[in-house]
Amino acid sequence: MKPNSRNEVRSALSACTGGLATTGLFSLVINLLMLASPLYMMQVYDRVLTSHSQDTLIALSVLVIGLLVVMGILELIRSRILVRVGSRIERRLDGRVFESLVSRSIRGTESNDDQPLRDLRSLREFLSGPGPFAFFDSPWVPVYIGVIYLLHPVLALVAAAGALFLFSVALLNNAWTRRPLGQAGQRFTEGDVMAGAGQRNAEVLRAMGMLGGLRRRWLMRQRDGLQHQARASDRAGLLTATSKTGRLILQAAILGFGAALVIEEAITPGAMIAASIILGRALAPVEQAIGQWRSFIGARTAYARLGGLLDEHPQAERRMSLPRAKSFLEVEKVHAGPPESRRPVVSALNFSLLAGEALAVIGPSASGKSSLARLLVGVWQPQRGALRLDGVALDQWDPRELGPQIGYLPQDVELFEGSVAENIARLDEDADPEAIVTAAKLAGCHSMILDLPDGYNTAIGENGSKLSGGQRQRIGLARALFGDPFLVVLDEPNANLDADGDCALGDAIREMKRRGLIVVVMAHRPSAIEAADKLLVLRGGRQQAFGPKDEVLAATTQPLPASTNGNVATLPRRKQS
């Protein structure tokens, strides 16, 4: 049974228990040393001023300065410990959060939302900031009130009433600002997603005059978010002002009561001043908690969201290593659809391929060709039936071992920021340069790459923005062929290719067959099926025909003509009996 992934965030915090415990110990010493200043003040008023003893004053001053220096050093160390605690938690979770974010994109939910990464940063920034100090210092409020009680019970009663008042303000702050802050965060997140989509489609927006419409939609969410945030900030500001005003009133009240007790000779003037200073220290954590409440709410929300994300996408179990596939691909009565859907998009798929065979998949738009590609490479899992390589279901392979055995060229080719070589090598920093060149030559793009300004070291920009569509597709093909994969799935690989690229693709398919690879090509152009041995016809997500290419074509009522742009115009249909 897989462990509850919510415990991953909790276990990351538990791994830092030592640092948090050390911070708590330092907080204990720091809060004890905080009493040095008021006690020094009381001794000066009650002993030094009455005895006129300079030696006593010097001794007390040296002692209190030494204690305050130690306290300052401990404060610095405590702050650095929390910074490292926050960094350690992020290091333990960042890889898992990134993997879960990608897995969520595969499922087609919130694929453009990087909120989990912001949540992780929010959690780390809270733990590294001043917020936790309020929680480490708050348990000392009763201790400070107890010290004031030793000076006089009436002063302790005033201090307790003040602390209770500020605690009530803190709780009201939570109840009053939680909802508008959540609504503001949701609107800002929606706006960020929309802005990201605008950046990716900037050319379309400018060319077709859509910028104004998208801008209005973005501004609506931005203004709505600002309105909710302003409401929360107004409420928080009111409560912060109330707490500050209340604290000043309490400071005045304890001085007033202290003065009355001094007049009655119930306490000394030094005790009155000491009580006022200790009260200020007792109320500081509460006031600090009110000021940091928004950060605390954000961190708590981030903690809950991260736990939910990791619970939804648990860490893959390490599987036993299996021999590389080298014999056959088998698709047996498979029904499949998107991970978040129970309705199959492709159904009744039943075919098999041997090493060295190439399959062309044809069909009209929305017939399920891209869905079949996602199924074959393991992005989608069968809802019914089985998909096997050498008799082993894809979900039984360790993903880290299955990935190098699969080459995939999606319909929309996206490259990563970096060099041409890094993209062909699948971002493997230890990739063999000879293997990179071999893949490029097999894809027929070696000469094209050498013509680039820096050859294989050419920086292609974000998403390959410095390359043409055809160049991106050919480099994507080289990436699919890198590492000598056994199964290569190409989804409309010649969509952006010119005549030379088309020829290079045909040569690449024939060479892959010669090397004993299984090649599956989703095709719209007749040139893509020339090198195929077998043909699979899809219509409405269902398998209409499968078999040797010539037999499937011969079984149709008409040949496979091409439209003027080279696309398949008419798909094969079975003869009517």
Sequence-distant contacts of 463-466: CB under 8 A, at least 24 apart: 463/200, 463/414, 463/415, 463/416, 463/417, 464/413, 464/414, 464/415, 464/423
pLDDT band at 415 (very low <50, low <70, confident <90, very high): confident
Q: What is the rounded CA–CA span in Å between residue 202 and residue 222?
A: 19
Q: What is the rounded CA–CA span in Å between residue 154 and residue 163?
A: 14
Q: Which residue has the higher pLDDT, 114 or 489?
A: 489
Least confident of 170-174, 297-301, 327-331, 456-460: 170-174
- Cα 17 to the chain's mean position, in Å? 24
CB 302 within 8 A of CB 122: yes
Domain boundaries along the sequence of the chain: 1-130, 140-291, 328-554
Q: Which residue has the higher pLDDT, 384 or 525?
A: 384
Order of strands across the sheet that contains 346-354: 392-393, 382-389, 328-336, 346-354, 542-548, 534-539, 358-362, 518-522, 487-491, 406-409
- Cα 407 to the chain's mean position, in Å? 26
H/E element, 534: strand 534-539
Residue of 408, 391, 390, 387 whose CA lies nearest to 336: 387
Using alpha carbons only, what angle is made at residue 402 by residues 398 and 404, rounded to the nearest 5 degrees?
135
Residue of 354, 404, 392 whose CA lies nearest to 548: 354
What pLDDT digit, counting tens, does each position of 206-228 carry? 777 788 888 888 889 898 989 98
pLDDT band at 487 (very low <50, low <70, confident <90, very high): very high
Q: What is the rounded CA–CA span in Å between residue 165 and residue 176?
A: 16
3-state secondary structure of 466: coil
- The whole-number average pLDDT for the span 302-324 is 80
| pTM attached to this predicted model | 0.69
Beta-carbon neighbour count of residue 354 at 10 Å? 12
- The whole-number average pLDDT for the span 553-557 is 69
Q: Quick one: pLDDT at residue 3?
A: 43
| The domain made up of 140-291 is a member of CATH 1.20.1560.10 | yes
Q: Which residue has the higher pLDDT, 342 or 35?
A: 35
Q: Quick one: pLDDT at residue 560?
A: 46
What pLDDT digit, counting tens, does each position of 142-167 carry? 899 999 999 899 999 988 988 888 88
What DSSP assignment string belongs to 196-222? Answer: HHHHHTHHHHHHTT-HHHHHHHHHHHH
Q: What is the rounded CA–CA span in Å between residue 525 and residue 335?
A: 27
Q: What backbone torsions phi and psi does residue 367 show, to the nearest 5 degrees?
A: -85, -10
pLDDT band at 29 (very low <50, low <70, confident <90, very high): very high
Q: What is the rounded CA–CA span in Å between residue 342 and residue 386?
A: 16
- The whole-number average pLDDT for the span 32-53 is 85
Q: What is the rounded CA–CA span in Å between residue 394 and residue 292?
A: 49
End-to-end CA distance of the chain: give it in Å, rounded: 54
Beta bridge partners of 409: 490
- The whole-number average pLDDT for the span 445-468 is 85
Q: Is the pLDDT of residue 559 over 70?
A: no
> Residue 527 corresponds to which tokens in the numbers above?
């040139």
CB 363 within 8 A of CB 299: no
- Cα 406 to the chain's mean position, in Å? 26
Q: Which residue has the higher pLDDT, 133 or 112?
A: 133
Residue of 437, 43, 449 whose CA lies nearest to 277: 43
Q: Is the pLDDT of residue 115 over 50?
A: yes
> Residue 243 corresponds to which tokens in the numbers above?
């707490």
Tell me what the pLDDT averaged over the chain comes to: 83
Sign of the torsion angle spanned by Cα atoms 32, 37, 38, 41: positive
Residue of 68, 38, 31, 43 whose CA lies nearest to 142: 31
Contacts of 123 (CB under 8 A, 6+ apart): 86, 89, 90, 299, 302, 303, 306
Q: Is the pLDDT of residue 123 over 60?
A: yes
Q: What is the rounded CA–CA span in Å between residue 26 and residue 169?
A: 28
Q: What is the rounded CA–CA span in Å between residue 463 and residue 485?
A: 24
- The whole-number average pLDDT for the span 231-251 is 84
Residue of 477, 481, 486, 402 whose CA lies nearest to 438: 481
| The domain made up of 328-554 is a member of CATH 3.40.50.300 | yes
Asked whether the domain spanning 328-554 has the same topology as the one spanning 140-291, the reply is no
pLDDT band at 527 (very low <50, low <70, confident <90, very high): low
pLDDT band at 526 (very low <50, low <70, confident <90, very high): low
Length in residues, the chain = 577
Residue of 517, 527, 533, 530 whose CA lies nearest to 567: 527
CB 401 within 8 A of CB 321: yes
Residue of 267, 318, 283, 74 whose CA lies nearest to 166: 283
pLDDT band at 107 (very low <50, low <70, confident <90, very high): low
Amino acid in position 417: E
Q: Is the pLDDT of residue 437 over 70?
A: yes
Q: Quick one: pLDDT at residue 575?
A: 37
Q: Which residue has the higher pLDDT, 164 or 573?
A: 164
Residue bearing tokens 């002002």: 241
Amino acid in position 549: K
Q: What backbone torsions phi and psi does residue 324 show, to the nearest 5 degrees?
A: -60, 140
Least confident of 10-24, 105-119, 393-407, 503-517: 105-119
Q: Quickly list H helices, 264-354.
A: 269-291, 293-312
What pLDDT digit, counting tens, does each position of 69-101 carry? 999 999 999 999 988 888 888 888 888 888 888
pLDDT band at 525 (very low <50, low <70, confident <90, very high): low
- The whole-number average pLDDT for the span 283-288 is 80
